[in-house]
Structures are given as structure tokens and as C-alpha cells.
Amino acid sequence: MLRVARFSLVLVCTVLSAVVGAVDVKNVRLWIAPDHARLVFDLSDSADHKLFTLKNPDRIVLDVDNARFNADLKQLNLSKSPVERIRSGAKDKKDLRIVLDLKSDVRAKSFALSPNDKYGHRLVVDLYQPEKVAQTVKRATTTANNPDKLRNVVIAIDAGHGGDDPGAVGPRGEKEKDVVLGIARELKKLLQKEPGFTPQLTRDGDYYISLRSRTSRARKNNADMFVSIHADGFKDKRAKGASVWVLSPRGASSEMGRWLAKRENSTDLIGGVGSVSLEDKDDVLAKVLLDMSMTASRSDSRVIAETVHKNMSRFAKMHKKRVEQAGFVVLKSPDIPSILVETGFITNPDEARKLKSKSYQKKMAQAVFAGIKAHFVAKPPALTYLAWQKQGGNKGKATAGKYKVVRGDTLSVIARRNGVSMAALRKANGLKNADHIRVGQVLQIPTS
């Protein structure tokens, strides 16, 4: 009898231990982006998981080790997502199986996130819909392959953070992700009204995009410039002031190393859509092309940043008297001039109040817009409406134009800015397969 009692006690303790040690799925949240949906499972602790897909019907299965499902799905609206419903059940005595019944075929990616100031452990599942991704790429390629038409200057506007990532949070709960999206939308309005410009938001809603995906979207849309908008945060609420940032020399060097290291397995192109790949270049030539491309884009970035900084200083306190440099990932595109604007410290009560107001958001947007416009009106890419306008409205001059090479130019950068292919530019100038150009050289810009 004593042995039976001891065995029962051990069995009960083992079961209780398993139950007590189980990870709870406490909540499920959904974020909808134009090309994917993100499901976030809030967990009570970290947990190993495995994801796989099943066909006929289409399903995604998520197995979570030593876990149980305690989330309430009644408030989760799946209507705009590729998920029809979410089911859960025990895979075995202690593991959890979550099944996503799908409305359409998706490409799924899952990963775990560690706790931050706002959330605890999370399990993230991103669902990419192939047809939406393909449509985005097709639209960008179609635009890039129409050099006969005068094109607009494309400005990629990046509102920082979003979705699960609120960014810095103000004293009254103001969220950076909301403030910067407001400013980004105001900047988009200004550019839409200005002839010769086409603004593109990297995100136009409350969802998260990875840092590399932000610059990737700019490249797919053949952007002429990338501007990322943020609001600073600091533990000391007295910290205040706006700032404008460009890529540091160290950041440029590290990015060059990254591109050189991955070039043989990459579909990325220097010079935008339809320009030049590093894949078939030897080490020396690849490095030279990258160096020249980054030198040109960094030079333009600084010019724009300095004008934006000056414009902002007329109504806002600036954190520093000059444009600052850092290795921010979103500034690292080798061939697209890029700046990052910190619109103020949202953790400062006074600046948080301003940043939340529509009037101040419009002021910030106007300051950035004026800087962008000044640069591209003074230095418009050929085959654009702005170039045609600068040449007195003579369309013939713009479509069959000439370009004088300046320091830092590469053939790939010139091709991208003028909306023509490398092959067409080489042919028009008798360059055959050589990419060597010299400062002061006048290139013919072909119409196709």
C-alpha cells in the first residue's frame, strides 16, 4: 500500500509539474500589410516551435512545445487576412498544435521575439501572398521599362516602426509609430500636389516592416530618394530637439562589405531596376562600382539633409547644429540618396504635445518637402518632368537629352536616374560592354 501511495504521489507531482511549467498562449494579434499578414502570439514564456504547411485544403500547422492555448479569439477579425479560422488542440500530452485554415495559398515564415518594454515573449507568423508580391514587382518594373514617357521623381517615404513595434512612447501614451505615420502622410500629400513627383509610402497603416524590407521596397519602386521619419526617445524627459541623419563612412564601409560578400547569390542590382548586378564582376571592379555608387548617393543625401535641417531649424529646436551621421540600416542603400529625420523627442512632454498636433506634423512635412523639392528641381534626373521643366518645357530635349558626368557618377547610377537600361545607355554612347566613364564626359540619353 505504501508503494502504491508513493507511486501515485510521484505521478501527481509529475503531472502538476508539466502543467505548471507549460507555456500559455495568452493572446493573438493580427496586423494587415499590403503584401502580407502578421499573426503575433503572446506567450507567457519562451517556447520552441515548428511550422509546416499542408495542402488540400491549404493549412499552416504550428507545433509549440509544452504549451497550452488560453487566448480568446472572439475579438480577432480575420476578414481581411488570408486566414479563414484558427484552431488549436493538444498534439500529445504536453505539446500544442495550432492550425491556420487558409483562404488562399501563402508563403509562411515564423520566428520568436524576446521581451521588450511593451511586450513579453512572442511567436510571430508572417503570411505572404504571392500574387500581391508579384503585382508590386510588376508595377515597379513596368514603370522602369517605359523610358519613352517623361517620368516623375519617385520619393520613398518611410514611417518608422509600426504594428507590434510602437517605437518610443510619450508621457501621455503618444506612440512614435502613430506620429511618424501622420507626418509621412502629410509629406505624401504635399508631393502628390507637386507636379513631377510621385510619393510612395513604405507602410500606410499600423503594421510592421523589417528594416531591410523598407529599403527593398524603395528599390522595387525604383525610388530616386528614401526618407525615413522617426521621433526620438530617451529615459530623461528633458532631452529634446530634432535632428537629421545621413549614413556615416563606417556604415557605408560595412554595407559595402555586406554587398560584396553576398553578390554571387543575390538578385540585388546597383543602380535600381534593370541596371547592373555585381554577380559577374571581379572583386576589384565590384568594389569600384559600389564605392562610386555610394559616394554619389551619399553626396546627394548630405545636400538634401542640410537643406531639410535648415528648414526645420526655423521653427523647431535642433538637437545639433549640423547634420549627423550614423550607420542606420535604412540609410544603407548603395544607390539611393537616403536621409533619416528625427522629428523631436516624443519622451519630452512639450515636444510630444507638438508632435501629436496636426499643425506641427504639417510643419515638419513641409520642411522635409521643401528640402526634397529644392534638390530635385536644381538637379533633376533626365527623362523626368522636372528635367523637361528645367529645360524650358521642351519635351524633345528631355527625351533625347544629354548628361554631363560629374564626380561620383557611375554608368549604372546615370541609367537609373534617367530611366533607361544599361544596355541602351552603352549602345547610345558606343561603350560596348565597358562601364568606364570620366568626369566631364557628355553622354547621350537614349529614348529607349
Are 113 and 207 members of one domain?
Answer: no
Domain membership flag for residue 15: no
Do the Cβ atoms of 72 and 34 come closer than 8 Å?
no
Which of helix, strand or coil describes residue 413?
A: helix
Give me the number of domains the chain comprises.
Answer: 3
Of the ranges 5-19, 208-222, 412-426, the best mean pLDDT one: 208-222
Is the pLDDT higher at 29 or at 4?
A: 29
Domain membership flag for residue 4: no
Domain membership flag for residue 285: yes
Of the ranges 24-38, 147-161, 301-315, 402-416, the best mean pLDDT one: 301-315
From 95, 128, 161, give the residue that closes a domain.
128
Residue 10 scores a pLDDT above 50: no
Domain membership flag for residue 415: yes
Are 231 and 197 members of one domain?
Answer: yes
Structure confidence at residue 17 as a pLDDT band (50, 70, 90): very low
Structure confidence at residue 84 as a pLDDT band (50, 70, 90): very high
How many contiguous H segments (helices) and E segments (strands) does the chain have?
12, 19
CATH number, domain with residue 85: 2.60.40.3500
Are 289 and 407 members of one domain?
Answer: no
Query: What whole-number distance in Å separates Cα of residue 175 and Cα of residue 421?
Result: 43
Are 200 and 301 members of one domain?
Answer: yes
Domain membership flag for residue 8: no
Query: In the predicted model, what is the mean pLDDT of the chain?
Result: 81
Do the Cβ atoms of 373 and 153 come closer than 8 Å?
no
Q: How many CB atoms lie within 10 A of CB 109?
A: 13
322-374 per-position pLDDT tens digit:
999 888 888 877 778 999 999 999 999 999 999 999 999 999 999 999 999 99
Cis-peptide into 57, omega within 30 deg: yes
Domain membership flag for residue 38: yes
247, β-bridge pairs = 326
Range of the domain at 402: 385-444
Query: What whole-number distance in Å separates Cα of residue 316 and Cα of residue 343?
Result: 9
Look-up: residue for cell 550614423?
326
CATH number, domain with residue 396: 3.10.350.10
Are 112 and 77 members of one domain?
Answer: yes
Q: Is the pTM of this model over 0.75?
A: no
Are 154 and 288 members of one domain?
Answer: yes
Are 38 and 174 members of one domain?
Answer: no
Q: Up-side HSE of residue 323: CA atoms within 13 Å toward CB?
A: 22
172-199 per-position pLDDT tens digit:
999 999 999 999 999 999 999 998 999 9
Compute the Cα dihedral for 162, 166, 171, 172 and give only its sign. positive
Residue 448 scores a pLDDT above 90: no
Domain membership flag for residue 143: no
From 323, 347, 378, give the residue that closes a domain.
378
